[in-house]
Amino acid sequence: MGVAPFKELRITSTVTKGDGVPFSAVYRPGVLEAMHNLDYCDVLVIGEELNPEQESLEIHHSSLMGKHLDATNSTSGISIYGVDSMAHYEEALRQVRYRNWRPATLSNRRFRLTCSELNGRYTSNEFNLEVSLVHNAAPVEHVNHMAVQSQYMRSVHHPLMVHSVNSHISGTPPAATVVVVICIAALVCIVVLGIYRLHSTHQDSSKSEEDEAKDPEMDWDDSTLTITVNPMEVRGHYTKEFPEKALSTKINSKALMKI
């Protein structure tokens, strides 16, 4: 976690010919590179001090094991001290890390590194370093790929399962539900109409039976009706025209009168 500002740091100590050449000097044209010990190296914050609630400058103590070094840090920076070789100081400074767990509130940080040797007799030049915090946004192409559907892809519609009564999804009822409700309503109307007509028919039949009970039918007897007339009692032209014959009349009547 964090960033290592001095990951590629290299410390060198140089003297001119007139300053005297140490025993362990390496010769280069015009310049001598001396390999000896340092007393301390300080990494200071330039500008506003560190906010301990969101950032820090630190080194893990495991990086100092096997060396004659120690470290202390504060909101102003970090200090590594102890008489040790420049190589050990390089290794320790490369392990210094700047951490910021709220990078949106800061755009950059500037640091200054200085080192000293021979109890402060010689001090190095000031090495300034700036750490920029880049806030990357999601690429627009990804959003476009999410919004535009490829022609080779099929959209899969998953069924919506509602497990709660207080659902936030509202809409019109499906057509099948409307058809079922209409069919049920029509069936109920038909049943009610049939019951009403059956009841009316039953009432009419009962009324007819009551009327028939009050005025019974009058039926004529369909048997043969025979009327015999005594010729002696007949007056008028019957006795004159048919003196020797008895008048016999048969009347067949088959009539039915209903009221």
From 110, 59, 51, select the one nearest 75 (Cα to Cα).
51
* Per-residue pLDDT tens over the stretch 13-32: 776 555 544 433 333 444 44
Question: Tell me, what's the pLDDT at 214?
Answer: 57
Question: Tell me, what's the pLDDT at 28?
Answer: 46
Domain positions in the chain: 13-132, 219-257
Q: How many CB atoms lie within 10 A of CB 61?
A: 10
* Per-residue pLDDT tens over the stretch 236-246: 544 455 444 44
Question: Tell me, what's the pLDDT at 12?
Answer: 84
Q: How many CB atoms lie within 10 A of CB 258?
A: 7
Walking along the chain (259 residues) 10 residues at a time, the average pLDDT comes out as 86 66 41 70 93 90 90 93 93 92 80 89 88 62 43 41 42 74 91 88 74 54 56 53 46 43
3-state secondary structure of 9: coil
Question: Tell me, what's the pLDDT at 173?
Answer: 58
CA distances from 33 to 52, 126, 237, 244 (A): 40, 19, 188, 191
pTM of the model: 0.47
Question: Tell me, what's the pLDDT at 168?
Answer: 43
- Torsion over CA: 145, 148, 154, 158 (sign): positive
- Measured distance CA(83)–CA(66) in Å, rounded: 13
Question: Tell me, what's the pLDDT at 248?
Answer: 45
From 89, 109, 8, 91, select the one nearest 41 (Cα to Cα).
89
